[in-house]
Amino acid sequence: MTIPFEQAFERLEQILEKMNSGKAPLEESLKLFEEAEGLIRGCNARLTTSEQRIEALIKQRGQVVLDAAQKPKVEPFA
């Protein structure tokens, strides 16, 4: 079962805080690092899938603006 993106991101923040505190023993730090790696992979996969879905929805509307590399032009959120 996959946890929601927001929970995974929150857990990553907890892991980072604990590892940065320097209070976790080496073995626990290794386990936390492994858990973080899995969470990062999962979050990246979900973000990629979400980006692809958004691109597909925009293309369906026929309003895609491409950049010089022929990729959908993106703008940062305000």
Q: Which domains are present in the chain?
A: 5-61 (1.10.287)
pLDDT in the model for residue 32: 96
Q: What is the pLDDT of residues 18-31, one digit of tens each?
A: 999 989 999 999 99
Q: Give bridge partners of residue 6 from the DSSP assignment.
A: none
**CB under 8 A, 24+ apart: contacts of 44-51:** 46/5, 47/5
Q: What is the pLDDT of residues 40-67, one digit of tens each?
A: 999 999 999 988 888 877 776 766 677 7
